């Protein structure tokens, strides 16, 4: 049952959700509404992450948003593990940090930078967070003005002794992120879980994954979970799915038999 801790006049509120206290934007059409209505977000993805992550693992969460999955990763890898979370939007990043702080999470490091194929700067468009919007759907590749933030290659920014999983949800910049992380990918051969919902960019993304000696599998994640934390049966997101790919190196022994393999780079679910 919903336990709203703080619900002031501003756009943020706090609830007690499935994985801890969550600061969220009441105006966010997807993540915010899901947290408020269900106490969780995209639980079908979380169920997959449970199968992939173990205590002591290192996970990189790229496009962490307010940290709903970051909080899960933190619990899965435990005190001996580490999570590195990246979120370029300042207001969203501050909420991400708030969620780590309010839950006393100490095994997560958060960075307000954009991961890309090259070093430089990108612009985050000006967003009205006090008005309804999809704040997780902001594209920064097309913006010519706004808040200038550093763009860095993961290979230059972060070195880790091991790496279990990279999660990428960056609104069309997935190929750019991968191109800037090829050294880490080749060295550690991590599992890669990434969004692929841009039809016009799908072919390039799939073929880049293949070029890294990975196999890719479709994972369709419904936004509504009928067994949600608040036991709410109202479906705010009928027929809405996140279109993602689970990617594993060809040398991996991970059991992927329950996922349909990506075998045709011209195929995309939104096109067929």
- Residue 2 banded pLDDT, cuts 50, 70, 90: low
> Does some domain include residue 227?
yes
The pTM score is 0.96
Domain tally, the chain? 1
pLDDT recorded at residue 1: 54
> Does some domain include residue 137?
yes
> Does some domain include residue 61?
yes
Q: What is the mean pLDDT of residues 169-173?
A: 93
Across 105-119, 139-153, 226-240, 250-264, least confident range: 139-153
Single out the residue of 207, 211, 190, 164 nearest to residue 59, CA to CA: 164
Distance CA 61, CA 169 (A): 8
Distance CA 84, CA 166 (A): 10
> Does some domain include residue 179?
yes
**With 70 as the cut, is the pLDDT of residue 209 above it?**
yes
> Does some domain include residue 10?
no
Distance CA 107, CA 267 (A): 39
> Does some domain include residue 162?
yes
Distance CA 100, CA 22 (A): 9
Please enumerate, as own/partner, the contacts of 117-121 that have beta carbons within 8 Å and a separation of 24 or more. Answer: 117/153, 117/175, 117/176, 117/177, 117/179, 117/180, 118/151, 118/153, 118/180, 119/151, 119/152, 119/153, 119/156, 120/150, 120/151, 121/148, 121/149, 121/150, 121/151
pLDDT recorded at residue 9: 85
Domain at 237, CATH number:
3.40.50.150
> Does some domain include residue 259?
no
What domain range includes position 163?
A: 42-249
> Does some domain include residue 196?
yes
């Amino acid at each position: 049952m919903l336990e709203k801790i703080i619900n002031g006049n501003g756009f943020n509120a706090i609830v007690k959700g499935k994985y801890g206290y969550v600061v969220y934007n009441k105006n966010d059409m997807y993540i915010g509404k899901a947290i408020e209505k269900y106490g969780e977000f995209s639980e079908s993805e979380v169920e997959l992450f449970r199968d992939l992550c173990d205590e002591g693992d290192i996970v990189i969460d790229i496009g962490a948003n307010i940290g709903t999955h970051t909080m899960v990763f933190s619990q899965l890898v435990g005190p001996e593990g580490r999570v590195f979370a990246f979120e370029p939007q300042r207001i969203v990043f501050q909420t991400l940090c708030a969620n780590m702080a309010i839950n006393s999470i100490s095994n997560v490091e958060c960075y307000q930078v954009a991961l890309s194929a090259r070093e430089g700067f990108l612009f985050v468009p000006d967003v009205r967070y006090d008005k309804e919007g999809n704040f997780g759907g902001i594209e920064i590749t097309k913006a010519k003005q706004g808040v200038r933030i550093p763009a860095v290659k993961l290979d230059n920014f972060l070195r880790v002794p091991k790496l279990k999983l990279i999660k990428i949800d960056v609104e069309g910049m997935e190929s750019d992120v991968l191109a800037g992380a090829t050294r880490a990918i080749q060295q550690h051969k991590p599992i890669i879980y990434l969004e692929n919902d841009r039809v016009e960019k799908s072919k390039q993304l799939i073929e880049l994954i293949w070029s890294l000696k990975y196999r890719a599998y479709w994972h369709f994640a419904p936004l509504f979970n009928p067994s949600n934390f608040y036991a709410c049966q109202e479906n705010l997101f009928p027929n809405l799915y996140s279109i993602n790919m689970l990617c594993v190196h060809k040398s991996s022994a991970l059991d992927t038999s329950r996922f349909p393999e990506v075998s045709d780079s011209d195929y995309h679910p939104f096109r067929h």
